[in-house]
Structure 1
Amino acid sequence: MSLRELPEIRAFHRVEALGFELPSEAVQSFDPSLVSAEDDADAVITIYGYIGIDPMTAVDNTERRIGGALRAIGRRDVTVNLNSPGGNFFNGLAIYNQLRLHPAKVTVNIVGMAGSAASVIAMAGDEILMGDGTSIMVHNASAIVIGNKFDTQEVGEILAEIDDAMAEIYAARAKVEKKVAADWMDRHRGNGTSFYPTTAIAKGLADGKLDPAKVKNRVSADGQKPVAAERVIERALMAAAGKSATEAKALIAEMKTGKRDAAGNIMRDADDDWTALARSLTETLKR
């Protein structure tokens, strides 16, 4: 069990029509190049990027991988190095519960961002440390719904339950009333609040600062920082398919839900010019 008194949140009914959406400001400010300098240390779990199975890269940040890592570590203290803008709440909640039930100390090092579903994971730390310039971002659950009016109503009810669950977790960690945590999430029309180290520590959402020497910038062989896959595809759609930034974001969101042949729609609008899109992706990756 966690060394702290953290709430156990029950499993949610998963709705096929629901696809989670990250706030645009979280995606824009996410820097995938920030990683821990000690990822190779013993009893360390890394969670970098999208929570869940990243639809763009297939990177696995699910409870299946984290559970396997925890079983391998056994009843020892564990360190979780975290840099994520968020993703699938259900996966994030499952990981939170796994870390909460770990029988030894859990230290969460936020080396970049703990946004959205990743902030829920971070709350499971018995000790939460934040690097300089890092953030914990909390907000109302946001989703894309593909379906009819009954699907929309069901998703609305589930999103309200998810908001309540997140508020309970943040409130328990910060030792505040649930309404206080809900107000953090409600700010800016539900886009929420970003807490940087000093404020996060003062509010009880973190315990201290991470030694700057424990964070590094990951770069590629050509010396370039990695770019989030979603941003690469967004730029390529704008260049090859003539989409606006808003249209590109919407089409990427459709891809994530898997409910529509978004890629087909994109290329029909671009005269089925797959070659142009591939060329644009290649050029974007070089930048």
Structure 2
Amino acid sequence: MKRKEILVKTLKFNGAVADNDDAEVYDWFGMECITPKKVNDFLNEANGEDVTIQINSGGGSVFAGSEIFTDLSKYQGKVTAEISGLCASAATFPILAADKVGISPIGQMMIHNVSSLAQGDYRDMSDAGKFLTGASNNLANLYAKKMNISVEDAQQMMDDETWFNAKQALESGMADEILFENNKQVKMVASISPILPQEKINQIKNMINKKTNDKKNSSLDNKFTSDQMESIKNMIDEKISEVKAEFEANNTAVKPPKNQKFKPLFLGGIK
């Protein structure tokens, strides 16, 4: 008699880690994102059963990631994290809450410090520095526990912006196993998925809300004026140009671009 296969509920943790209020903008552009609400709804539906969180994300909002970490940590069932592609920045938070972590043979992980934008006088800059130091130290403590190393060593790895391939993730303790080790064939793909800048999200949300209010109903009128369409086009072109220029300047198969690509992924939640 065949053994009955146990189906585990799986959540695709893909795209930017975004705040709940920003999800509508990503949806409007047809871009993937993961929010605390999506994770919470998934866990409520799972109702204590074992779950798998399948991660392919470059990170995003620190505060959204923190909420997701908290919900996964409190969940009564077993949580398995599987890194199917990229697990960087705030997208590493679920693995810190998981009972078991697996990584694809061609998966990658990355940890670094929290970053943000700030303006004001020396007092504002000092306050921002204290906040970033505290937030990064919180993460260093969690990474240190995960890898069974000192907090100082974990903080140094964050300072250095440390990347792990599958073997390095396993050796460091960031992962517990490499998936599909017995498979002879593995298909590889590559892509660049930029996160929307917070200022652009806010601008577009204001435009969407204005159009909705003008129509006095709940449906979104997609017929923007020529000026509005030009504004949106410029936003998209600007982001595409930035990513293209960065990619061309750092085009290498040895190591992904340092700092520039993923530092902004943390600042989405710091306001």
TM-score w.r.t. length of structure 2: 0.63
Q: How many residues align?
A: 200
Q: Does structure 2 conserve the Cα–Cα contact (< 8 Å) formed by 1:135 and 1:194?
A: yes
1:137 maps to what in 2?
Answer: 110
1:255 maps to what in 2?
Answer: 200
Q: Per the alignment, do residues 54 and 195 of structure 1 end up closer, same or farther by CA in structure 2, a change over 3 Å counting?
A: farther
Alignment of 1:70 onto 2:43: yes
1:148 aligned to 120, 144, 163, which one?
A: 120
Alpha-carbon shift at residue 160 of structure 1 (Å): 0.8
* SS of equivalent to 2:68: helix
Alignment of 1:199 onto 2:189: no
1:49 maps to what in 2?
Answer: 15
Q: Per the alignment, do residues 168 and 276 of structure 1 end up closer, same or farther by CA in structure 2, a change over 3 Å counting?
A: closer
- 1:63-96 CA distance string (max 9 Å, x none): 2221111011011111000011010011111111
Alignment of 1:228 onto 2:193: yes
* SS of equivalent to 2:77: coil
Q: Does structure 1 conserve the Cα–Cα contact (< 8 Å) formed by 2:106 and 2:188?
A: no
Q: Per the alignment, do residues 272 and 142 of structure 1 end up closer, same or farther by CA in structure 2, a change over 3 Å counting?
A: same
Alignment of 1:210 onto 2:182: no
Alignment of 1:178 onto 2:151: yes
Distance across 1 between alignment mates of 2:89 and 2:25? 18
Q: Per the alignment, do residues 182 and 226 of structure 1 end up closer, same or farther by CA in structure 2, a change over 3 Å counting?
A: closer
- 1:207-231 CA distance string (max 9 Å, x none): 011127798789xxxxxx876255x
Q: Per the alignment, do residues 100 and 174 of structure 1 end up closer, same or farther by CA in structure 2, a change over 3 Å counting?
A: same
1:163 aligned to 126, 136, 151, which one?
A: 136
Write out aligned runs for 1:87-126 (5 A). Answer: 87-126=60-99
Identity, in percent, stands at 24
Distance across 2 between alignment mates of 1:68 and 1:215? 32
Decide which structure has greater helix share: 2
* SS of equivalent to 1:47: strand
* SS of equivalent to 1:154: helix
* SS of equivalent to 1:176: coil
Alpha-carbon shift at residue 254 of structure 1 (Å): 4.0
Which blocks of at least 5 consecutive residues in structure 1 are unaligned? 1-40, 219-224, 234-251, 262-270
2:230 maps to what in 1?
Answer: 274
Q: Per the alignment, do residues 203 and 185 of structure 1 end up closer, same or farther by CA in structure 2, a change over 3 Å counting?
A: same
Which blocks of at least 5 consecutive residues in structure 2 are unaligned? 1-6, 207-226, 241-271
Alpha-carbon shift at residue 167 of structure 1 (Å): 0.4
Give the root-mean-square deviation of aligned CA atoms. Answer: 3.4
TM-score w.r.t. length of structure 1: 0.60
